Amino acid sequence: MITKVRAHLSQNEPLIFERSSPGKIGYQLPELDVPAVDAVQMLGTENVRAEIRGFPEVSEVETIRHFTRLSTWNYAIDYGMYPLGSCTMKYNPRVNELVARIDGLAWAHPYQPDALAQGSMEVMARLEAALAEITGMDAVTLQPAAGAHGELTGILMIRKLLEKRGNPRKKILIPDSAHGTNPASAVIAGYAVQPVPSSTTGALDVGILERIVDEDVAALMLTNPNTLGVFEHDILRIADVVHAKGALLYMDGANMNALMGMARPGDFGVDALHLNLHKTFSTPHGGGGPGAGPVAVKKELEPYLPAPRLKRSGKKWAWEYQRKHSIGRVRAYYGSFGVLVRALAYILAHGGPGLRNVTIDAVLNANYLRKKLEPHFELPYTAPNMHEVVFSDERQAKRGVRTGDFAKRLIDYGFHPYTVSFPLIVHGALMIEPTETEGKRELDHFIEAMVSIAEEVEKEPEIVLTAPHGTRTSRVDEVTAARKPVLRWK
Amino acid sequence: MRYLPKSDSERREMLDACGVGSAEDLFSHLPEAVRLKRPLDLAPGISEYEIVQYFRDRAAENANGYASFLGAGVYSHFQPVLVDTVVSRGEFLTAYTPYQAEIAQGTLMAIFEFQTMICQLTGMDVANASMYDGSTALAEAAMMAVRATGKGRLLVARSVHPEYREVLRTYAHNQRLPVEEFGYLADAGMLDSEDLEAKIDGLTGAVIVQSPNFFGIVDRVKEAAEIAHRAGALLIVVFTEAVSLGILEPVAEADIVAGELQSFAISPSYGGPFAGIIGTREKFIRQMPGRLVGQTTDTRGNRAFCLTLATREQHIRREKATSNICTNQALIALMATVFMTVYGKQGLRQLAEQNLAKAHYLAGRVKPRFCGKFFNEFVARAPGKTPDAINKALLRRKIIGGLPLARFYPELADSMLLCATEMSHRKDMDAVGEIFA
Amino acid sequence: MYPENFRYTKEHEWVRVDGAIGTVGITNHAQNELGDIVYVDLPKPGTQVSQGGTLGSVESVKAVSDIYAPVSGEVTEVNTVLADAPEKLNADPHGEAWLVKIKLGTPGEFEKLMSAADYQAYIGAEK
């Protein structure tokens, strides 16, 4: 029985271009306080465009209605839980939105004199210090704009260190359970990728690792806990094996929500890691970005951090550009400052004990779901899980229902689906991560929904196979979208 | 804690269901040697009011109430109120990436509109759902050109934003792609086509130019296109000042356009987050990095939107992906979309005209160093006064002057880059004129 | 289902030989596993391929699969039908939706590949 949602009228709305008509305006600019100029004279006839063909022409009222109507077609954290594994879809605190908009911070130009940017620099310095403490590392760069960007930055630093030692080496080892950005980043950094299989317990196969780490390996890229939500128990041995051959250990910090205040990557042998501020540190997903992917490193990698870096000069902050061994810039300016403000606000709200409680509740929530869902779903790996749990669709597949279908039916129950078909080492994966900002009531609703759908799979699979039924849009034709791409309105 | 919605009794019920005495028991499987044995060395959590106060104090340590003539890739423009109203809606702000199309049509349709507007502005056939920023958009465009042509050498104009060129080098270096620069004309501030002609060869995959360029000059892109295409290279055109597209004719000869949308109601915010774009021709679609939204139908025959051509991307293609990028700067792109909608066809034109008027008024007070035509920025110098001295004097009048160019162009150490937008006041421009004189 | 005069590979390609030319495609098992095919990426005529080397790739909405050359040689012809109608690869993988023709470079390769019976046993075991 569906209890979390009920049908409701939602407004239709065409594309903004279909609403437009010539002459409608939604803006007003102040009068010029200087003389107007002739564009053709100033720019040359050949450089002046006739018009922006097809651009919208609507009033302010239509603009607000258009986007408001569109917004009502979305699910969001503000509506309810996203059980998406590895995404850490936690509550986005609103005070973070307020502080990011304070004029002195929002209007700061990256090139304004350092003396007039001390506030922004202090914010960044404070965040660097906090992230270093949380991860147990020595130095942090806030430049990377996203997790994948951070991965690339981290691998580039490792490369530079190894070059300095005489040989950048050729390949990066990546577990077969890894997120797709890991191998993609390694390749952009100029390395070949060699997969490392997981063992039957879902952990990295240390025996195989020992056999394949050689002097051609630059690094092992590991996620810990891994994408099954399982902590790599042999992590110290893994770090030793990697280091013994002169390679480095890079950690994908996507699952940091499981570790805060409990264990620190810097303490278990990690040389470099990136964090996802839009996951662990609550900055909003915004429908697909912006995020930020700071990278934390051990002392040995500090010289290679992207330039410039913050340096304390008496009582003031300054940007140090002359950094001989830096890998260079990975983006213009200093970082996604607006995202950094939100992450710092989150850290200030919790403090040390608070972040530890976040991790505790995240792990409690995931274990509660595991306990309640275990009777109904196949659990391929039975090791203790931390902040997320991965089931497989094996039982449901017997009735012809796969994880993707099951997920679509979950939508009818008022939830966003869990992560479907990832990690790849589980056939037909259901990857579930509730995060700590879900209360028992929401979790119980979720359990109810999952159990109910599992029953439907047994008794009337058709309703699951053709879901969703209650949404504005039924299943979309992704095949035609790929065969005959239409990527703009004409 | 206000973000943790569990009462003690609920916690107890859940622990009982898990069969453990305390929540810490759930961590007992962690190896002893990795456990953190002390509390994190961070100040205790503070209240909402204290958080606001902390950031207000930081904001007070930045410039407040100054007029500014800084541009150089980040521009001061009015931000229509509606932009913030729309992106503050929880359904946009707290929504996930639209992988589940049925419950993300709001995000998807907005991105589809965004892609369309970028095509309309740039004259390209297709645009993606945005990149991290202009600098990484350029780096990705270059890699795209290399994939498309099979040729690895990159030629970039010195008049392209210096930090963008630095980012390009970082990306190119590790892919073993040689990057070489060609110069600009000392009098006009435009690219030196003879230098380009001399340096281009059959191994060049892309020629990269910016217009308006870093000096604000509307550059001779058609000439660069002709030279590039003759040599079998692609032309990548970069823009950092999106408002210029309101009045400047898009470059028809461009194969790829890479740019920055910060001007479209995105706060300067000390350098980010911003949103870059890549636009290109139909034939290069499959080489494009980043997310793409396509139009399709649902099972009932209604128009619907979804992410498409995902097989280019990292989560499927993994090490063979067109890029490692996962995010698109969705919320930032949405801000730009609302901005473009509010101004619309007429407004963006009028906005560009106002920028042109303001900057040319300033140029009447402070003679531009280059004779090339410019949009809203130009390079200037004062005889006998260093840029630092000028800026110091301006600061006393609560004006932040232009960017001294010494750090990026030693040959222009006596000059600064000035930008005037629709936000610049006549009296402040007059003050700049006085100090320069 | 699986033509007797074809030979098959473990990567689910088939090849049929007429004189000096081999015609290559993917098997029905392959297209079934892939689901709705949206795009096929094939080499240009004139490309040299070696046995086991990547020939191109096939894409469904959510997956990409590399196609490997079952025999060595030079690509002489590419099936242009698939550019506009990739769905034909689902409909008729052994016939209309052949992928490329290769001028055989190394004698003896064809004979060493799996027969139809061996292939059917192979895919039966895979399950």
- Number of helices and strands (H, E) in chain B? 13, 14
- Tell me the per-residue pLDDT of A350-403, one tens digit each, with 9 for 90 and over: 999 999 999 999 999 999 999 999 999 999 999 999 999 999 999 999 999 999
Which range (B227-241, B399-413, C102-116) has the least confidence? C102-116
Contacts of B174 in chain A (CB under 8 A): 156, 159, 188-190
- Which residue, A293, A446, A411, A282, is CA-closest to A348? A282
What does the alpha-carbon distance between residue B7 and residue B166 come to, in Å, rounded to a whole number?
Answer: 52
Paired sense of beta strands A248-252 and A272-274, if any: parallel
Other beta carbons less than 10 A from residue A31's beta carbon: 6
Count CA within 13 A, CB hemisphere, residue B218.
22
Q: Do C39 and B310 touch (CB under 8 A)?
A: no
**Which spans in B22-133 are helix H?**
48-60, 81-87, 90-93, 105-122
pLDDT-derived band at A228 (thresholds 50, 70, 90) equals very high
Other beta carbons less than 10 A from residue A490's beta carbon: 8
Structure tokens belonging to residue C117: 């019976």
CB B325 within 8 A of CB B317: no
Q: Do A26 and B342 touch (CB under 8 A)?
A: yes
What does the alpha-carbon distance between residue A432 and residue A82 come to, in Å, rounded to a whole number?
Answer: 9
| Choice between A308 and C108, residue whose per-residue pLDDT is larger | A308
Assess whether pLDDT exceeds 70 at residue B322: no
What does the alpha-carbon distance between residue B429 and residue B361 come to, in Å, rounded to a whole number?
Answer: 8
CB B298 within 8 A of CB B280: no
- Placement of tokens 């996620």 in the chain: A223
Which chains lie within 8 Å of chain C at 3 or more CB pairs, if any?
Answer: A, B
Question: Which three-class secondary structure state does DSSP give residue B166?
Answer: helix
What does the alpha-carbon distance between residue A416 and residue A446 come to, in Å, rounded to a whole number?
Answer: 10
Structure tokens belonging to residue B258: 């890479």
Question: Which three-class secondary structure state does DSSP give residue B247?
Answer: coil
CB B237 within 8 A of CB B257: yes
pLDDT-derived band at B310 (thresholds 50, 70, 90) equals confident
ipTM reported for the complex, 2 dp: 0.97
Which pLDDT score, from 0 to 100, does residue C62 have? Answer: 79
Measure C112 CA to nearest chain B CA, in Å. 31
Structure tokens belonging to residue A193: 């990728």
Q: Do A109 and B300 touch (CB under 8 A)?
A: no
pTM for this predicted structure: 0.95
- Which residue, A260, A265, A276, A57, is CA-closest to A150? A276
* Radius of gyration, CA atoms only, chain C: 13
Other beta carbons less than 10 A from residue C3's beta carbon: 12
Which pLDDT score, from 0 to 100, does residue B327 have? Answer: 74
Count CA within 13 A, CB hemisphere, residue A432.
32
Q: Do B170 and A130 touch (CB under 8 A)?
A: no
- Tell me the per-residue pLDDT of A310-347, one tens digit each, with 9 for 90 and over: 999 999 999 999 999 999 999 999 999 999 999 999 99
Q: Do C61 and B317 touch (CB under 8 A)?
A: no
Contacts of B311 in chain C (CB under 8 A): 38-39, 59-64
Measure A398 CA to nearest chain B CA, in Å. 24
What does the alpha-carbon distance between residue A333 and residue B341 come to, in Å, rounded to a whole number?
Answer: 28
Question: In Å, how far from its chain's centre is CA A100?
Answer: 20
Amino acid identity, position A230:
V
CB B108 within 8 A of CB B306: yes
**B175–chain C Cβ distance below 8 A for any pair:** no
| Choice between B315 and A374, residue whose per-residue pLDDT is larger | A374
Amino acid identity, position A288:
G
Measure C125 CA to nearest chain B CA, in Å. 27
When CB atoms are compared, the residue of A54, A146, A364 closest to B14 is A364
Q: Of how many residues is chain A composed?
A: 490
Question: Which three-class secondary structure state does DSSP give residue B405?
Answer: coil
Measure C50 CA to nearest chain A CA, in Å. 22
- Tell me the per-residue pLDDT of B136-170, one tens digit each, with 9 for 90 and over: 999 999 999 999 999 999 999 999 999 999 999 99
Amino acid identity, position A210:
E
Share of chain C above pLDDT 90, in %: 78
Assess whether pLDDT exceeds 80 at residue C127: no
Other beta carbons less than 10 A from residue A431's beta carbon: 24
**Average pLDDT of the segment spanning A423-434:** 93
Contacts of C87 in chain A (CB under 8 A): 483
Q: Rounded to whole angstroms, what are the CA distances from B389 to A70, B132, B404, B412, B416?
A: 52, 36, 10, 15, 11
What is the overall mean pLDDT for chain B? 96
pLDDT-derived band at B319 (thresholds 50, 70, 90) equals low
Question: Which three-class secondary structure state does DSSP give residue B177?
Answer: coil
- Tell me the per-residue pLDDT of A151-208, one tens digit each, with 9 for 90 and over: 999 999 999 999 999 999 999 999 988 988 899 899 889 899 999 998 988 899 999 9
Query: Helix/strand/coil (H, E, C) string of chain A?
Result: CCCCCCCCCCCCCCCHHHHCCCCCCCCCCCCCCCCCCCHHHHHCHHHECCCCCCCCCCCHHHHHHHHHHHHCCECCCCCCCCCECCCCCCCCCHHHHHHHCCHHHHCCCCCCCHHHEHHHHHHHHHHHHHHHHHHCCCEEECCCCCHHHHHHHHHHHHHHHHHHCCCCCCEEEEECCCCCHHHHHHHHCCCEEEEECECCCCCECHHHHHHHCCCCEEEEEEECCCCCCECCCCHHHHHHHHHHCCCEEEEEHHHHHHCCCCECHHHHCCCEEECCCCCCCCCCCCCCCCCCCCEEECHHHHHHCCCCEEEEECCEEEEECCCCCCCCCCCCCCCCHHHHHHHHHHHHHHHHHHHHHHHHHHHHHHHHHHHHHCCCCECCCCCCECCCEEEECHHHHCCCCCHHHHHHHHHHCCCCCCEECCCCCCCCEEEECCCCCCCHHHHHHHHHHHHHHHHHHHHCHHHHHCCCCCCCCCCECHHHHHHCCCCCCC
Assess whether pLDDT exceeds 80 at residue A304: yes
Q: Rounded to whole angstroms, what are the CA distances from A427 to A390, A403, A467?
A: 11, 9, 21
CB A116 within 8 A of CB A262: no
What does the alpha-carbon distance between residue C19 and residue A223 come to, in Å, rounded to a whole number?
Answer: 53
Question: Which three-class secondary structure state does DSSP give residue B205?
Answer: strand
* Radius of gyration, CA atoms only, chain A: 25
Instruction: Give C47-53's long-range contacts (Cβ < 8 A, gap of 24+).
Output: C47/C74, C47/C75, C48/C73, C48/C74, C48/C75, C48/C105, C49/C73, C49/C74, C49/C75, C49/C102, C51/C106, C51/C109
Tell me the helix, strand and coil percentages in chain B, rounded to 5: 45, 15, 40
Assess whether pLDDT exceeds 80 at residue C54: yes
What does the alpha-carbon distance between residue B363 and residue B370 come to, in Å, rounded to a whole number?
Answer: 11
- Placement of tokens 């790829």 in the chain: B256
**C65–chain B Cβ distance below 8 A for any pair:** no
Phi-psi region of A328 (alpha: psi -120 to 50; beta: other; left: phi over 0): left
Structure tokens belonging to residue B114: 């965004």
Assess whether pLDDT exceeds 70 at residue A119: yes
| Choice between B319 and B400, residue whose per-residue pLDDT is larger | B400
Domains of chain A listed by start with CATH number: 16-71 (no CATH), 95-349 (3.40.640.10), 356-478 (3.90.1150.10)
CB B243 within 8 A of CB B348: yes
Question: Which three-class secondary structure state does DSSP give residue B258?
Answer: strand
- Which residue, B108, B96, B112, B138, is CA-closest to B276? B138
What does the alpha-carbon distance between residue A329 and residue B163 come to, in Å, rounded to a whole number?
Answer: 8
Which pLDDT score, from 0 to 100, does residue B314 have? Answer: 66
What is the overall mean pLDDT for chain C? 92
Q: Do C62 and B316 touch (CB under 8 A)?
A: yes
Measure A64 CA to nearest chain B CA, in Å. 7
CB C104 within 8 A of CB C20: yes
**Average pLDDT of the segment spanning B316-325:** 70
Share of chain C above pLDDT 70, in %: 98
What does the alpha-carbon distance between residue A20 and residue B345 come to, in Å, rounded to a whole number?
Answer: 10
Kindly identify which residue of chain B lies nearest to residue A195, measuring between CA atoms.
Answer: B319
Q: Rounded to whole angstroms, what are the CA distances from B203 to A199, B255, B281, C49, C50?
A: 46, 17, 22, 24, 27
Which pLDDT score, from 0 to 100, does residue A381 have? Answer: 93
Q: Do A73 and B106 touch (CB under 8 A)?
A: yes
Paired sense of beta strands A389-392 and A429-432, if any: antiparallel
Domains of chain B listed by start with CATH number: 81-338 (3.40.640.10), 346-436 (3.90.1150.10)
Measure C23 CA to nearest chain B CA, in Å. 27
What does the alpha-carbon distance between residue A378 and residue C70 come to, in Å, rounded to a whole number?
Answer: 38
Question: In Å, how far from its chain's centre is CA A397?
Answer: 30
**B358–chain A Cβ distance below 8 A for any pair:** yes
Which chains lie within 8 Å of chain A at 3 or more CB pairs, if any?
Answer: B, C
Assess whether pLDDT exceeds 80 at residue B302: yes
Instruction: Compute the CA torsion angle A301, A303, A306, A310 (nearest 10 deg).
Output: 120
Backbone phi and psi for residue A248, each to the nearest 5 degrees, phi listed first = -115, 160
What does the alpha-carbon distance between residue A158 and residue A223 come to, in Å, rounded to a whole number?
Answer: 17
Paired sense of beta strands B204-210 and B234-239, if any: parallel
Backbone phi and psi for residue C123, each to the nearest 5 degrees, phi listed first = -70, -30
